[in-house]
Amino acid sequence: MIRPALRTSALIMSIALTACATESDDSCIAERRLAANRLAANRLAANGLLGDAITDVALTSATLGTSIEPSALADPFTRSLLEYTVSCALAPDQRVELDVGAEVVLFRGALGLAPEWGASDGVCDDTCQGWVSACLIARTNAEGESLEISLLGAHPGLDPSAEESDVFDEEEATYYGDLFGANRSMFACVPSGATAPTRTCGTTPASCAIDIVGTCETLCDAAGCRDGDGNVYSETITVNRAHADAACG
């Protein structure tokens, strides 16, 4: 997940996930559009769900049913975090079903950033942890609101539609970090001339739970994006927002 600092030509691949525009009509939303981005960043880094207990086991109904205490999923944030983790890691044809109290809760895959984690003998290695971390950080929201965003990254699971590329053309920030290690970290870089994103940092950037390291132009290249110490994170996700006059075609 973290690679030794490298210097190569600047390149951030623009490969997107979500679709459509400023209205919420399901008919104008692509099949794999990911609008949910309500996670609270300050709780994300502190939540006990992420760690060796989950990365060392398969992301399947059978395994999670015995490795996660049902009482843990009684907490709404922890349940949402598992929902987002499954949707980031697993593909649309993969799912996890867990007994939570008297109900069976279905967690659906969507992006497929680490579908191998959903195999019967699957684990989440460093690359998997890097993609899922970036995905979760990118889906935080300071106000707890879900806004339409386009997730871009150098991963085949993030291929855009032509309409999406046209509509979501305003770069917000690039997100990366490590939510699974002992020292959890959340980073972002912004386009030149931009400030901390309001969506993820709110109106008081000084208290943002995500470390806005600098501009992507200076921090990112073909190897990935760097933190303040020069460590390179290979798995990064750029969020684009729709321009103000966007409309579904």
Q: What is the 3-state secondary structure (H, E, C) of the chain?
A: CEECCCCCCCCCCCCECCCCCCCCCHHHCCCCCCCCCCECHHHHCCCCCCCHHHHCCCCCHHHHHHHCCHHHHHCHHHHHHHHHHHHHHCCCCCEEEEEECCEEEEEECCCCCCHHHHCCCCCCCHHHHHHHHHHHHHCECCCCCCCCCEEECCCHHHCCCHHHHHHCCEEEEEEEEECCCCCCEEEEEECCCCCCCHHHHCCCHHHCCCEEEEEHHHHEECCEEECCCCCEECCCEEEEECCCCCCCC
- When pLDDT is cut at 50, 70 and 90, the band that residue 157 belongs to is confident
| pLDDT at res. 53 | 74
Domain count along the chain: 1
Task: Identify whether 248 is part of a domain.
Answer: no
Which domain range does residue 26 map to? 2-241
pLDDT of 210-234, one tens digit each? Answer: 999 999 999 999 999 999 999 999 9
Task: Identify whether 118 is part of a domain.
Answer: yes
Mean per-residue pLDDT, 156-174:
88
Task: Identify whether 246 is part of a domain.
Answer: no
Task: Identify whether 193 is part of a domain.
Answer: yes
pLDDT at 11 over 50: no
pLDDT of 172-184, one tens digit each? Answer: 999 999 999 888 9
CA proximity to 175, closest of 148, 208, 147, 137? 137
Task: Identify whether 161 is part of a domain.
Answer: yes
- Output Rg (C-alpha) for the chain, integer angstroms: 17
Task: Identify whether 186 is part of a domain.
Answer: yes
pTM of the predicted structure, to 2 decimals: 0.84
Task: Give me the percent of the chain exceeding a pLDDT of 70.
Answer: 81
Task: Identify whether 247 is part of a domain.
Answer: no
Task: Identify whether 169 is part of a domain.
Answer: yes
